[in-house]
Amino acid sequence: MGWAENKIQQYVQGQKATWLEKRILEHANPVNLLAHIIAFVAGIYGLWFHNWTWIITALIIGFLGHLYCWLKK
């Protein structure tokens, strides 16, 4: 059992999550993690070629990963 599954079991039993643990678990969501990896690659590409379109696209993709987690709650 990984850290995330262990923490989720503790929360089910009544333990409260800290602010940092909530942020870590939010980024551990596979959809959010994949969106951030894609956004990171697009952002690096945009910075390398000084292309604002790719940089803005990376920001939007990263935000969509967070939005998915927020709406899933």
User: Residue 62 in contact with residue 37, Cβ under 8 Å?
Assistant: no
Global pTM? 0.74
What is the rounded CA–CA span in Å between residue 59 and residue 40?
9
- Output the pLDDT for position 53: 97
- Output the pLDDT for position 58: 98
Enumerate the H helices of the chain as residue ranges: 3-12, 19-27, 30-48, 52-72
Residue 28: φ, ψ to 5°: -80, -10
Residue 45 has pLDDT above 80, yes or no: yes
- Output the pLDDT for position 15: 83
Residue 1 has pLDDT above 70, yes or no: no
Q: What is the mean pLDDT of residues 34-56?
A: 97
What is the rounded CA–CA span in Å between residue 43 and residue 41?
5
pLDDT confidence band for 72 (50 / 70 / 90) = confident
